[in-house]
Amino acid sequence: MSIAEALREHGVSDVAFAGRAEGIEGRVLPPLGWRFFAISAQPLRRSLSPFAVWALWRTVSDAHRILRAFAPDVLVATGGYVAAGVVIAQALRRGKVVLHEQNAIPGRTNRWLARWARRVCITFEGTARYFEQSRCVRTGLPVRRQLLQARTERQHACASLGLEADQRVLFVIGGSQGARQLNEWTQEMLPALKTAGVQVMHQVGERHASEWQEHVQEPGYRWFAFLDAQQLGLALSAADFVLSRAGASTLSEIALFGKAALLVPYPYAYADHQWYNAQELARGGGALVFRESELDAQRLLRKILELMRNDSILQEMGERNRRWAIEDAAERVVQVVMEVAAAP
C-alpha cells in the first residue's frame, strides 16, 4: 500500500493488487477502495510433485487472465508464493518485473523469481549477494504513511497513552501476531520493572489476546492485542527502549523512530532470516541481539535495566538506528519502478 500510494502521488492513476481473497490483502484492500484481483495459489514446495505443478500452473493461468485484462507496464512483486505465478505470467508475456525483498536472507520464491526481474529492491545492504548485484538497489522498506504521520513529541505521546513522561517507557512488541516467549518474560519482569520506575507498553498479539483478558490495564502497564498505525506511532514516540523480535518491518519502524532496541529473533524463521535482519542493526551499534536460548527473564531484566539507566547509550543507539533508516523508501521504490517502465 505504501508503494501504491507513492505511485499515485507520482501520477500513476491505474494501480491494482493481486492476492488471495481469503488472505489479509483480500480483507483489507477492497474496503479501502483499491482495485483487487483475487487469485488462487498454493504454497510452493521444495519438490515439484504433480499436484504442486498443477497448483502453480493454475495460479499462472489465473494471473495470465488478469494481466491480459489489466496490462500493467510494470509488475511489482514483494515475494511469497502468491507472487510466483503472477511473475511467471508477466514473464511469459514479456512484461517488466520489479521485486522487493524485505529480509536480509531472501525467501525461496524471490531467489527463484529474480531471474525475470529488471531490478531487485532490498532493505538490507548484504542481501545483494544473493542476487545479481548489478540489478539490486537499496531502497529500504516502505512503511505505513499513517505511522510516520503519528510521530510526535515524547511528552505528548505519553499523555495520549496515559503514561508518565518523567518515567522510563519500555515498549515490547513481537510483531503483529505477538511472541509468546516475549510475553511470558514481560510478565515475569513486570514487578521488578515497576519497582525500578519503568513503565511498559506491550503489544501481546492478536492470537494471544484471549489469554491476556485476565490482565487488567494498570498504572505503568498497558497491553494491546494489536496496535494500529496511529497507536504504534504513539508507542514508538513514547518509548525509551524497545524489546522486539526482528521482522524487517518492525526493525524499519524502530529505526525510523530512532529508538534503541534489544532484539530476540524468532528462532524458527525461514533460513534464520530474523537473526540476520537483527545483525544489520547490531553492526551499526543500534541494537543488542540475543538468541532466545541465551536468555531467561532475569538475564533479560538485567540487560534492559542496565541500558535504560544510561541516557547517553540510549541516545547514541537510537541515533545510529535513525542513520540506518531510509524514510523515503516508498519514493525510492517508485523511482526504480518509473525507470524500469521508461526503459526499452
Among candidates 137, 139, 81, which has minimal Cα distance to 108?
Answer: 81
Task: Among 3.20.20.100, 3.40.1350.10, 1.10.290.10, 3.40.50.2000, name the CATH number for the domain at 2-141+327-342.
Answer: 3.40.50.2000
Contact by Cβ (8 Å): 342, 154: no
Instruction: Give me the DSSP letters along 172-220.
Output: EE--TT--HHHHHHHHHHHHHHHHTTEEEEEE--GGGHHHHTTS--BTT
CA distance 130 to 18: 26
In the chain, the amino acid numbered 28 is V
| pLDDT score for 271 | 92
Q: Which residues of 222-241 are buried (b: 16+ CB within 10 A; e: fewer)?
A: bbbeebebebbbbbbbbbbb
| pLDDT score for 339 | 98
CA distance 305 to 272: 28
CATH classification code of 146-324: 3.40.50.2000
> Is 325 strand, coil or helix?
coil
Contact by Cβ (8 Å): 81, 42: yes
| Fold equal for 2-141+327-342 and 146-324 | yes
Domain ranges for the chain: 2-141+327-342, 146-324
Non-local CB neighbours of 332 within 8 Å, separated by 6+ positions? 121, 137, 139, 140, 326
CA distance 153 to 82: 40
Question: 164 - beta bridge partners?
Answer: none
| pLDDT score for 44 | 66
CA distance 288 to 263: 6
Residue 332, H or E segment: helix 329-342
What is the pLDDT tens value at each position of the chain, 344 positions in all?
A: 999 999 999 999 899 999 999 988 999 999 999 999 999 877 766 666 777 777 788 889 999 999 999 999 999 999 888 899 999 999 999 999 999 999 999 998 999 999 999 999 999 999 999 999 999 999 999 998 999 999 999 999 999 999 999 999 999 998 766 688 999 999 999 999 999 999 999 999 877 777 777 776 788 999 998 899 999 999 999 999 999 999 999 999 999 999 999 999 999 998 999 999 999 999 999 999 999 999 999 999 999 999 999 999 999 999 999 999 999 999 999 999 999 999 99
Among candidates 81, 72, 73, which has minimal Cα distance to 110?
Answer: 81
Is the Cα torsion angle 77, 81, 82, 84 positive or negative in sign?
A: positive
